[in-house]
Structure 1
Amino acid sequence: MNGPVIDYQAVFQAFPGAVALLTPDLVYADVNEAFLLTSGRTRDQIIGRFLFDVFPDNPHDPTATGVRNLYASLQRVVATGEPDTMAVQRYDVEDPDRPDVWQERYWSPVNVPVRDRDGTVVLLLHRVEEVTQLIKARGRHHGEDRAQVLEAELYTRARELQEVNERLRKAHAREREVALHLQKAMLPASRPIGHHNAAVRYRPAQGALNVCGDWYDIVDLPEQGRTAVAVGDVVGHGLAAAGVMGQLRSALSAACHVAEGPAQALEVLGLYARAVAGGESTTAASVFIDWKSSALTYSCAGHLPPALRHPDGTVAFLDQATDPPLGARLEHAARPQARAAFVDGSVLVLYTDGLVERRREGIDVGLERLAASLARHRTSDPDELGDALLADLIPPAGLTDDTALIVVSL
């Protein structure tokens, strides 16, 4: 049953809090009625104008630096893509009916990024609550000068927040660095597979901790005339995910040496994942390349389908053997596998979801983007193709999830 049609413009205007939308250049794009009422401005005085043109700092009071602080906060949101909740700020407002007469005002702002489908920050949502009466009442209650009360409060809160943020930043940076070193040590480097070239890539998320859950692997099975390639994605991030990733990758590598095919290898891995804390719900894709018969046998455990690009540039997604993630079933069951033929000059690509998934768009859009890039870059050199895929598919704002990639020339 379809829900009601929502008029988001009406919701925006009816919202009781003061809200404004600004472009990344800090030009007002829209404001709601509560913002106009709170600021004492008309839409014509705000829309299409730069932040400082609408609300300059009080030139007669150097301590009223709230708008400068707001400007810095909004710039941080654009640069990092992360929300920013500010401490109480004083920025006075010029009386619209009496030029150069300034009203002492205090505000509690929150600034939030609005992204497009590629993750790029395209708007800034600025929500502000006026707390002037609260600050003045507090000053009267303590019998102290209002400016002194505010200055002490702001200084204390700012120092506390700064210290907490700095400790968190350093802790996150240390964990990220250690996790990435561990990830790099456990993942193999690019190397040829017999007479065939292969390339591997790992890209961590940009400026975030959601890294080190993805892996790739290449296992030579020369006695069988086969090669097993795989990618996987552990739920979680950081050091914990890197540890789980290492255990599962090693287990799948060992299973490939004795399994009849990828489905059996993933069955063994699924049973093992149940005994590994954090291993449940991991996704993985495994492909066995039979060089003698020019055939691919594949199986996917909740993972996105591998891509096979034929020499003529057409792309087929290997999606006929997809099953739930590892450890997702209450009872063990055999996993499906399927077979696809290939010819000389084909290219096999395995990848994790960070390469193709984007916020607020269906996964089919990302798969179409991948197929178009594969068709456009007809090179059979895996290193060149791996770099081209990353260049085409990583959004300008950077990855929001880590990404693993294998490219094999067939």
Structure 2
Amino acid sequence: MTVANGSRLDGLRALAGTAVRQSAVTIDQLVFSAITFTVQLVAAPVSTDAEFGVFSLVAIVQIGQWYLGRAVAAEPLLVSKAVANGDARGVRGAAATSLLLGVAIGLVCLVVGLLVDGPARTLLLIQALASPFTAVLDHGRYVSYARQKPFRALLLDGSWLVLFLGAVGVTVLVGELDASSTYLLWALTAVPVAVACAWLTGGPFAVGAVRGWLRDRRELLPGFLIDAVYLTAGTWATFGVTAWIVGLDGLGVLRKALVPVTALTVLFIGISNALLAHLAGRSAREVVRAPMLVSGLAAVVSLVFAGLTLIAPADLLTTALGTPWEGLRPVVLVLLAYAFLLATAQTALVAGKASGRAWLGPRVRTVQFVTEIALVAALGLWLGVMGVAFGMALAWLTAAVLAWGGLLGQRARP
């Protein structure tokens, strides 16, 4: 074999290995989004619209924790290539930072849970238990990606999904489920998987390395963190305004319409975050091409789901969601457009982070945040739940235009 042929063969092997790993990342994100989808799908039919509204407000705490934890730990870890460069202290510092954030959020949930009454108290106390473990799990997922071991993450997330489904099945056989018991099963099944994750990816207990991690990444962290704070605050504010405008019943209806959509948003955001490891240090052309491909995939998936929404049997989905499907169907279609627009905006912002433009996200999010709150309030007053959905979609259309404008403008500069 000639040297040229050998080099060509090595190149093909490397390309095949990359394709396999990226496919594993995508499948893992599908499994992870399936967990979120299943939790909501199990809780929806056993809750009234108002009860599901409360359930959703507490569940947003976990979503916000994922955004913030990735911003202060996983995303800087991927961009700085600390794993590839053998920076063991940096890897330990990132893991400990993620864990400390989870503990802090858990303590806040504990305090607030003790101060409130009703279902919210139970759900917040469950979240207080879950937060440290889900912090370890989520960070370990991205460490596995950075180490080119996505199958490890897939094994862990798959185990979590199987454990949760098994626990739900056993509970249904021996008793009854409600939203709180569903959330408790989700939290409890995360515990052994998080322990296994810590054992496989490294213990997250090097608290002394946190200060060094934050100091060494001080140029990256502010932009990443502000971006995540905006995303978290925007989610809370959107649903808070929705509850104020259309009531907890209306919020519950919106969140039930989001059940088939939330899994897509978790999937799209997870894949876009995983792009950081792939795009860091790449050429301007590659930095733009990858998010375009992901956006194309998001468009196809959203269209497929829209088709399924149009032909889905109303009786089956009414039973599954506990709310008449004919009323939810048009809201779901608008929210699928929202999911696609969020996905394409998010991938453009992640590409900006990977190329060093950490402040692109905060600039876009500022406009998106203000626009979304204003549109959700105005259109919600006018059109109810459908108006809220339109407001969310239009706000992310604005964000997508700004994000892609910033990314393409960067490529145009020498």
Tell me the TM-score range normalised by the shorter chain: under 0.3
Q: Which has the higher contact order (CA 8 A, sep 6+)?
A: 2
Which one has a larger percent strand, Structure 1 or Structure 2?
A: 1
- Choose 1 or 2 for highest CA Rg: 1
TM-score (norm 2): 0.27
TM-score (norm 1): 0.27
